[in-house]
Chains A and B, each alone.
Chain A
Amino acid sequence: MSDPWGISGPAFLWLYGGLIVAVWLIVRPLLTLSARRAAGRGGQYQGGTPTVYQLAFLAGGPARAIDTAIAALVERGGLRVSSARTVTATGPMPADPLERAVGDAANRPQGRTTAKIHSMVRSSPALRMLASELEQRGLLASQAGVRTARTIGALLQLAVLVVGVARVANGVSLNRPITYLVLLLIPALVLAVRAWTTRKRTPEWAPTAAGKSLLNDVRQARLSAGHAASPYGSLLVGAASLVAIGGLAMYPDHELSAALMPDPRAYGGGGSSSGSSCSSGSSSSCSSGSSCGGGSSCGGGGGCGG
């Protein structure tokens, strides 16, 4: 009796295993990579000097853009930083949409931690607008393109699964041993499901070749003297541009940058106060009317439960 499909059972097992792995580890990533490279292949980008937030997005994605907006506001006095790692909006609402999103998030008397601000602003329209502006300028890989590539990759992984199922069905009808093949179907299924469910995962951001060369140009311009002459002049001064390239650690004021950096020990945005418990209570527990009365967050000699 000749082998089904012309391939012997054990040979198919090896081929199939290799196929599963190859699609997962090689074909899918290659598809995604080429989609990223696709945009802005020209190398030169069009449209004047980028804004500091566009630069930040290129250098460090949405998180860096948010950090830069925070830095800009702190420098201008639109955000106040406390040692409990919270920021509070002060003064008039900013005009820039990203700054406004940060200002709205920080608009609570006891402020919010920078981590919480990040989680709140992450999904704001201002960031989506930044990303699409950069895509249009050919500086950021088109998210649509990447998503298509991932969908194709997922379909390929599904196709691999289908091939295995067909082989099993074929084997059953021919009364061939299928135990090992069925076992291989498990990882095939798991990976196919995973590929499908993650095909639209939170878009990563990836600069194109043009985007990377722009970042490089700005970094070079920083290093060389005579900023005034550079076409990137506006991007070379101010705390915001320092943070755009280098992150919050680059904020020029040490005390403030220490208070702005997320607490490495904290496990999440959480509440508005860390550090000494209750000492942040004074504003909200004692606002309005002449000061607060008993039952304030730390009434009695007992603890506040933090």
Chain B
Amino acid sequence: MSLAADQAALLRALLADGPAPSGFSADRLRIEADVLRRKHSRLIAYLRPDLEESLGDRFFPLFAEFTAATPKTSDVRAREYADSFATWLISRGDLPRPRRRLFRRGP
């Protein structure tokens, strides 16, 4: 297997629920996948603090579900990915649809 394929296989295993490539410790793969997910979730929480605030404890488990189903590809910007997480949440009813306000509330 070429290096490119090997690297892709590793990332698929860590991010997209792909099969564990041979030669890697399954335990370590699991830990690393968790590290990546948590780090990613912190970035998303930074970009969309409103989501973290609304979801509270459910933020991380929901994000883990979303990212397993739709891993972030390298052509999507982090902010877009965060917004698509929000869209996914709304479509599943985990987040209420944003209400339109006639007048902007003050600070």
Direct contact of A and B (CB under 8 A): yes
Which residues of A are interface residues toward B (Cβ below 8 A)? 110, 115, 119, 262, 266-269, 271-272, 281, 284-285, 287-289, 292, 294-297, 299-300, 302, 304-305
Nearest Cβ on chain A to B60's Cβ, whole angstroms: 13
A121 to B67, CA, bound (A): 34
B25-48 toward A: CB 8 Å interface, digit per residue (1/0)? 000000000010011101101110
Rank and list the top 6 A-B pairs by shortest CB-CB distance, nearest first.
A268-B107, A284-B46, A305-B79, A295-B78, A285-B43, A288-B39
Bound-state Cα–Cα, A239 to B20, Å: 59
Question: Given A285-B43, A287-B39, does the pair A295, B81 have CB atoms closer than 8 Å?
Answer: yes
- Chain B residues, CB < 8 A from A272: 46, 49
Interface residues of B (CB under 8 A from A): 35, 38-40, 42-43, 45-47, 49, 72, 74, 77-79, 81, 104-107
**C-alpha spacing A281/B43, complex, angstroms:** 9
> A118 to B18, alpha carbons, bound, how many Å?
46
A284 to B38, CA, bound (A): 11
Give the nearest-CB partner of B38 in chain A.
A288
* Residues A304 and B79 in contact, CB atoms below 8 Å apart: yes
Residue of A nearest to B52 (CB): A108
CB <8 Å contact, A110 and B46: yes
A100→B100 CA distance, assembly (Å): 35
Residue of B nearest to A284 (CB): B46
A285 adjacent to B46 (CB under 8 Å): yes
Q: CA A139 – CA B38 in complex, angstroms?
A: 50
Q: How far is the CB of B71 from chain A (nearest CB, A)?
A: 11
> Chain B contacts of A296 at CB under 8 A?
43, 78
A295 to B78, CA, bound (A): 5
Chain B nearest CB from A288 CB (Å) reads 5
| Cβ contacts under 8 Å, A302 to chain B | 77
Q: Is B107 a contact partner of A295 (Cβ separation < 8 A)?
A: no
Among A272, A284, A289: residue with most chain B CB under 10 A: A284
Which of B38, B40, B47, B105: most chain A Cβ within 10 A?
Answer: B47
B39 touches A292 (CB 8 A): yes
In whole angstroms, what is the CA distance A305 to B79 when docked? 8
**What B residues does A110 contact at CB under 8 A?**
46
Whether A299 pairs with B78 at a CB distance below 8 angstroms is: yes
